[in-house]
Amino acid sequence: MAGAGTQSTSVAAAKLPKIAWGKGLILTDVDGKQYLDGSGGPAVYCLGHSNEEVNQAIKDQLDRIAHGYRYNFTSDPLEELTERIGRCCGGTLNQMVFVSGGSEAVESALKLALQYFAVRGEMSRRRFISRERSWHGNTLGALALSGFRERRLAFEGALVDVPRLSPANAYRPPVGVAPEDVGAWCARELEDKILELGPDTVAAFVFEPVVGAAGGVVPAPPGYAKRIREVCDKHGVLMIADEVMCGAGRCGTWRALEHDGVFPDIMTVAKGLGGGYLPLGAAIYSAKVAEPINAVDGGPQTGHTFTGHTTACAAGVAVQRIVERDGLVHRVAIKGEEFKKTLADALTGIAFVGDIRGRGFFTGIEIVADRETREPFPAEKTLFLRIRARSFENGLISYPSGGNVDGIKGDTVILAPPYNSTDSELSEIAGRFAISLRQVLADIGA
Please state the pTM of the whole predicted model. 0.96
Q: For residue 318, give the CATH number of its domain.
A: 3.40.640.10
Domain count, the chain: 2
Q: What are phi and psi of 400, to 5 degrees?
A: -80, 160
Domain check: are 171 and 189 in the same one?
Answer: yes
Instruction: Please report whether residue 215 resides in a domain.
Output: yes
* pLDDT mean over 304-309: 94
Specify whether 400 is located in the same domain as 321. no
User: What separation in angstroms does the CA of 83 have from each of 17, 79, 241?
Assistant: 40, 6, 20
Q: State the pLDDT at residue 3.
A: 41
Establish if 2 belongs to a structural domain.
Answer: no
pLDDT number for residue 446: 86
Per-residue pLDDT for 1 more than 70? no
**Do residues 364 and 424 both lie within one domain?**
yes
Q: pLDDT value at position 325?
A: 98
Which tops the pLDDT comparison, 127 or 2? 127
CB atoms within 10 A of CB 196: 10
Residues 40 and 162 in one domain: no
Q: Residue 380: is it exposed, middle or buried by C-beta count within 10 angstroms (0-12/13-18/19+)?
A: exposed
Q: What does the mean pLDDT of the chain come to?
A: 96
Residue 182 has pLDDT above 50, yes or no: yes
Beta strands 202-207 and 238-242, pairing class: parallel
Residues 59 and 107 in one domain: yes
Residue type, 146: S
CATH code of residue 345: 3.90.1150.10
Examine residue 11 and state whether it is found in any structural domain, yes or no: no
Same domain, 192 and 286: yes
Please state the rounded mean pLDDT for residues 120-127. Answer: 98
Domain range spanning residue 356?
19-51+328-443
Asked whether residue 5 carries a pLDDT value surpassing 90, the answer given is no
User: Domain check: are 114 and 35 in the same one?
Assistant: no
6 lies in a domain? no
Same domain? 416 vs 431: yes
pLDDT tens digits, one per residue of 150-169 = 999 999 999 999 999 999 99
Region 394-418: mean pLDDT is 96
Helix (H) or strand (E) holding 195: helix 182-197
Same domain, 66 and 147: yes
Mean pLDDT throughout 406-425? 97
Q: Does residue 273 sit in the same domain as residue 226?
A: yes
Tell me, yes or no, whether 257 and 111 share the same domain: yes
> Which of 297, 325, 353 represents a domain boundary (last residue)?
325
Please, which pLDDT band fits residue 303 given cuts at 50, 70 and 90? Answer: confident
- Of 349, 328, 340, 354, the C-alpha closest to 426 is 340
CA pair distance 325, 265, nearest whole angstrom: 28
